[in-house]
Amino acid sequence: MDINKALAAFFALSQQTRLDVFRLLVKAGSDGLNAGEIASLLDVKQNTMSANLTVLLNAGMVRNERHGRTIRYFADFDAMRALLSFLMEDCCGGRPELCQPVIDEIACAC
């Protein structure tokens, strides 16, 4: 991930509603959620949610699919991995044992 993509991702995630949306979509996993469900679960107006989803989409942190009349949103796990990799690039001065606790913390327990 280059610095500009990382900055766009950080910008998108630096607002509470957008961060809540992203975390909700991470929890939803491969099922994703449609825009109305997201707005309802987070108690956010539809037009406000649409604007926030657009920011996340433009930053590449979420993807969407049209299903009939609704649009389903999904966390982009490849983008999340790329952002985490960007943050941990050259981690711990070449001493991987120092990074292991961080890796253990973010590893999926699925």
Letter string b/e over residues 44-64, b meaning 16 or more CB atoms within 10 A of that residue's CB: beeeebeebbebbbebbbbbb
Segments making up each domain of the chain, as ranges: 3-106
Q: Which fold has domain 3-106?
A: Arc Repressor Mutant, subunit A (1.10.10)
pLDDT in tens, 51-106: 999 999 999 999 999 989 999 999 999 999 999 888 888 777 777 777 788 777 77
Q: How many CA atoms lie within 13 Å of 100's alpha carbon, on the beta-carbon side?
A: 4
- Residue 64, φ and ψ in degrees, nearest 5: -135, 160
DSSP state of 30: G
Cα-to-chain-centroid distance, residue 4 = 16
pLDDT digits (tens, 9 = 90+) for 18-63: 999 999 999 999 999 999 999 999 999 999 999 999 999 999 999 9
